[in-house]
Amino acid sequence: MSVALEIRNLHVNVEDKPILRGVNLTIKQGEVHALMGPNGSGKSTLANALLGNPAYEITAGQVIFDGKDLMEMAADERSRVGLFLAFQYPVSIPGVTLANFLRLAINARMKAADPDSKGISVSDFRKLMKAKMDMLGMDHSFAGRYLNEGFSGGEKKRAEILQMAVLQPRIAILDETDSGLDIDALRVVSEGVNTLRGPDLGVLVITHYQRILNYIQPQVVHVMYQGRIVESGGPELALKLEEAGYDWIREQVAE
């Protein structure tokens, strides 16, 4: 049975200002959904609230993941049960290599599942990293670089996709992964996501623009406006937004 992320009537405030005003959305493993909408509609607020950013206050609603109340879990617990967020603006961590960061993440998961666990061995981790990097077409030297330090925009996003490959989440949220990428970097990152997609991974692609959806093709497209999902449809909905913009959405909501 596939795992589902169920968002029910979610309301979220930021600095006491209501941003999300009743979001309803269900994503199952094996599905790819796109969430589009104009600036300020609440897309990134949804991503941050789902992963437990304390600056985002949930005032009403539920989020159920694999039958459990996600809102009762700390951010690290949400990650361990299989939720993943690829950040719009990944932070740099000087002095910590990408490989060490990922090994620590795996060991933390293993320790949480079994307090007596000694974690993954260095040799097993190296095999895992090399296999995932080969799958994504990445040079092995990438793993020895400090996390996001001096990375280009495309390299930062590729590092996020590598993290996703290693940690193997059940539901992944990509928060404007296309932000700041040129067309070549966008293609490379999208190919990485497409390599990972399958029956065990559900994906929510958050974006302003159609262009990333030319590469990561969703089954369902949702439009967020003023803190709610106001329209859902197939891939043709994204094409309509690309051609007509969001004015027709604003007019529809105003009626």
Asked whether the beta carbons of 162 and 144 are under 8 A apart, the reply is no
Q: How confident is the model at residue 180 (pLDDT cuts 50, 70, 90)?
A: confident
Q: Cα(216)–Cα(34) distance, rounded to whole angstroms?
A: 9
Which has the higher per-residue pLDDT, 89 or 32?
Answer: 32
pLDDT average, residue stretch 140-161: 93
Q: How confident is the model at residue 1 (pLDDT cuts 50, 70, 90)?
A: low
Q: Cα(107)–Cα(121) distance, rounded to whole angstroms?
A: 9
pTM given for the model? 0.93
Give yes or no for residue 143 having a pLDDT over 70.
yes
- Supply the pLDDT for residue 182: 87
Asked whether the beta carbons of 22 and 227 are under 8 A apart, the reply is yes
**Sign of torsion, CA 212 31 5 24?**
positive
Give yes or no for residue 215 having a pLDDT over 90.
yes
- Supply the pLDDT for residue 97: 96
- Domain positions in the chain are 4-92+169-254
- Supply the pLDDT for residue 106: 94
Q: Cα(80)–Cα(148) distance, rounded to whole angstroms?
A: 23
Average pLDDT over all residues of the chain: 93
CATH class of the structural domain 4-92+169-254? alpha beta
Give yes or no for residue 141 having a pLDDT over 70.
yes
Q: Cα(178)–Cα(66) distance, rounded to whole angstroms?
A: 28
